[in-house]
Structure 1
Amino acid sequence: MPLASSLPFASRLLRRTFAAGMLLAAAGLAAAQPAGTPIRLLVGFPAGAGSDAIARVLAEKLKDELGTNVVVENRAGAGGQIAAQALKAAPADGHTLFLTHDHSISILPQVTRNPGFDPASDFTPVAGFATFANVLAVSGATPAKTMQEYVNWVKTAKGGKDTIGVPAPGSIPVFLVQLIAKKYGIDVQAAPYRGSAPMTADMLGNQISSGIASVPDFIEYQKQGKVRIVATIGAKRDPLLPGVPTFTELGFQNLTDYPWYGIFAPVGTPQPVVDRFGAALQKVLAMPDVKKKLTDMGLNVAYEPQGQFAGRVRTYTQTWEGIIKASGFQPQ
């Protein structure tokens, strides 16, 4: 058959193949997410914590974009481990997703002997939506307004010893406490809590003098003058805290990678479902009111599609793997 006469047939075949593929994808998506079926958005921390507040801002808007209810489900405990295990156990049908920050995915598997999940084989990254900074804050009862003033206070008023609250055992704040102790020659120990909310409550009640958590956990209390943030992780100063130096400015090494927030699905979740949720999230993040709310909470809002987000998670995990190993920490 001459080439010229074969082109119309090839064109028709290509169009039919494409149309059939689109129908199959749509059918698969419909089967995975029946109309009106709620989506569970797992959060590994209690109501009132920073992650919970962030999830509720997003869920309210996502339900309109997805045409179904998005229900925030708090599976608090063990620094997000319980929620991660729940995600692993959930069907890969798009009805269950996990909103989390870096700790549950990048850190827990390195500091826990049997976490009950493997992010690389059990989860599918959906999208990233923000970065933030971990910070050291002192309570209003302490006289310190800077890191050096805090160190001097510990040396003079506390006999060189103090406890610093952290949201979970084996978390990045634990290793930051170790780095602070080593750099300044003071005996400070991490006091692990079950989440940032009870830790912050003890700071506000002057039960502990200081704590390390994320900007979203402290920012409102910072604005009210109830805590004072004295140092932040990151390559540059946080826009919400222009007067607060970074740990790097204070002479610490390897503390420039920002922690992140993102969404994960069970492995095997159909790609059309992942893409649909990612597209909805991108639209929601572009809404001025949503962006303002999240920014006011201390987040640097930026949508990251699946591939870019997966790369961020890998790089961040590798950075902290080196720090954790150098600390001599043994998985527990």
Structure 2
Amino acid sequence: MAQSRRQLLKAGVASAAVAAASALGSVAWAASGQPIRILVGFPPGGGSDAIARLLAEKLKDELGGVTVLVDNRPGAGGQIAAQQLKAAPADGHTLFLTHDHTISILPQVVKKPGFDPQQDFVPVAGFATFVNALAVSSQTPAKNLAEYVQWLKGGAKRGTIGIPAPASTPEFLVKILAEQTKLDLVAAPYRGSAPMLADMLGNQIPAGIGSVQDFMENHKAGKLRVIGVLGEKRQLSMPEVPTMLEQGIKGFEDLPYYGIYAPKGTPQAFVDRFSAAIAKVLQQRDVYAQLTALGLTVGYMNPSQLAAREAAYTKVWTGIIQRSGFQPQ
């Protein structure tokens, strides 16, 4: 009985501490009069931008009416936005919404990225994993991977595949695909998924690799075709599309993630308050439905869980990058 009382007392103290931290965060944000800025390293119109704007709108209410703005800082695969986060005051007013590329890949492929996620950032919350996909333009006749490979063999200039950023996960996926199909494939880097999609829709480029959410709308509208998804399971949002594994291509199974980060030194009260707000927003049915419709697998990760996911994913891709022979630029 005494043990139970002690456990209840500890639980009550912990709950009170969380509540106090949340209240402190809300009061400080309201008192400052400053908006919360969410940096996004890609231009408007892409998947990351759409996700950030959805969450920003909902977070305003969850944080007691504090204005939450999306600040697009596109370029270099999120590197510019990451540098902006590092330089921002650690006062809880600047955050960075990004996926695996900027956190787990960029520091391995760029000699001087201008930031170190381990030293300069604090994990705040993870909110989803997602899958990349291979899609073809409307004038590329292939309806599956086998047909795409056969089509590639019919013309030497057909093997260009668009990617949203140089030295990104999609670039290494192009290398894996080239190795396993024994074809000469070339990755064509863009500054984000939006310009890549524009060229695919205009039939300026025959294929592209990007996130499922980048291709979802145009796939359903018949303006392009997704012919393979990564991961071990088909996607609920497009169950008719087989996985790359089903089509004989291995090495596409590990799933990238989305997370939110703050500058190192941000008070824990702000981190806890914002992380808790993300958790509540994700429980809203319309948010869950909209994120799922974008091809995300929604799932809240607290700061320590996000850090663990980041570490595991980075380890997998360290091996892939090293085996590819890629030299940091």
TM-score (normalizing by structure 2): 0.91
- Give the structure 2 partner of residue 240 of structure 1: 237
Q: Is the 8 A contact 1:32 1:270 kept in 2?
A: no
Q: State how 1:56-67 maps to structure 2 within 5 Å.
A: 56-67=53-64
- Give the structure 2 partner of residue 139 of structure 1: 137
- Give the structure 2 partner of residue 110 of structure 1: 108
Q: Distance in 2 between matches of 1:225 and 1:23?
A: 49
Structure 2 portions without partners, runs of 5+: 1-9
Structure 1 residue 33 corresponds to structure 2 residue 29: yes
Q: Is the 8 A contact 1:163 1:208 kept in 2?
A: yes
Q: Distance in 1 between matches of 2:315 and 2:74?
A: 26
Summarize the Cα distance change of 1:71–1:241 in structure 2 as closer, same or farther, 3 Å threshold: same
Name the aligned partner's letter for residue 66 of structure 1.
Answer: L
Q: What's the offset of the Cα at 1:24? A: 8.7
Q: State how 1:171-182 maps to structure 2 within 5 Å.
A: 171-182=168-179
Summarize the Cα distance change of 1:328–1:60 in structure 2 as closer, same or farther, 3 Å threshold: same
- Give the structure 2 partner of residue 10 of structure 1: none
Query: Which of 229, 248, 252 is 1:251 aligned to?
Result: 248
Measured against aligned partners, the alpha-carbon deviations of 1:96-136 in whole angstroms (never above 9, x if no partner) come to 00011111101010110100000001000001001110000
Q: Distance in 2 between matches of 1:57 and 1:225?
A: 25
Q: Is the 8 A contact 1:29 1:270 kept in 2?
A: no
Query: Which of 276, 292, 295 is 2:292 aligned to?
Result: 295
Q: Distance in 2 between matches of 1:240 and 1:304?
A: 22
- Give the structure 1 partner of residue 326 of structure 2: 329
Measured against aligned partners, the alpha-carbon deviations of 1:58-90 in whole angstroms (never above 9, x if no partner) come to 000100111200000000111100000000000
Q: Distance in 2 between matches of 1:63 and 1:288?
A: 17
Which SS does the other structure have where 2:159 is aligned? strand
- Give the structure 2 partner of residue 76 of structure 1: 74
Q: What's the offset of the Cα at 1:249? A: 2.2
Q: Is the 8 A contact 1:232 1:244 kept in 2?
A: yes
Q: Is the 8 A contact 2:174 2:186 kept in 1?
A: yes
TM-score (normalizing by structure 1): 0.90
Structure 1 residue 47 corresponds to structure 2 residue 47: no
- Give the structure 2 partner of residue 211 of structure 1: 208
Query: Which of 268, 271, 274 is 1:274 aligned to?
Result: 271
Name the aligned partner's letter for residue 230 of structure 1.
Answer: I
Q: Is the 8 A contact 2:161 2:207 kept in 1?
A: yes
Q: What's the offset of the Cα at 1:250? A: 2.7
Q: What's the offset of the Cα at 1:180? A: 1.1
Name the aligned partner's letter for residue 133 of structure 1.
Answer: V
* Count of equivalent residues: 316
Which SS does the other structure have where 1:103 is aligned? helix
Which SS does the other structure have where 2:239 is aligned? coil
Measured against aligned partners, the alpha-carbon deviations of 1:223-278 in whole angstroms (never above 9, x if no partner) come to 00111111111121111121222222233333221111110001111111111001
Summarize the Cα distance change of 1:285–1:24 in structure 2 as closer, same or farther, 3 Å threshold: closer
Which SS does the other structure have where 1:136 is aligned? strand
Q: Distance in 2 between matches of 1:113 and 1:32?
A: 38
Which SS does the other structure have where 1:129 is aligned? strand
Measured against aligned partners, the alpha-carbon deviations of 1:186-205 in whole angstroms (never above 9, x if no partner) come to 11100011111000100000
Name the aligned partner's letter for residue 33 of structure 1.
Answer: W
Measured against aligned partners, the alpha-carbon deviations of 1:255-312 in whole angstroms (never above 9, x if no partner) come to 2211111100011111111110011111111111111111111111111111111111
Q: Distance in 2 between matches of 1:198 and 1:24?
A: 45
Which SS does the other structure have where 2:122 is aligned? strand
Q: Distance in 2 between matches of 1:160 and 1:41?
A: 41
Q: Is the 8 A contact 1:138 1:227 kept in 2?
A: yes
Q: What's the offset of the Cα at 1:27? A: 8.9
Q: Distance in 1 between matches of 2:74 and 2:88?
A: 17
Q: Distance in 1 between matches of 2:51 and 2:161?
A: 25
Deviates more, 1:113-122 or 1:256-265: 256-265
- Give the structure 2 partner of residue 99 of structure 1: 97
- Give the structure 2 partner of residue 87 of structure 1: 85
Superposition RMSD on alpha carbons, in Å?
Answer: 2.2
Q: Is the 8 A contact 1:154 1:162 kept in 2?
A: yes
Q: Distance in 2 between matches of 1:231 and 1:201?
A: 20
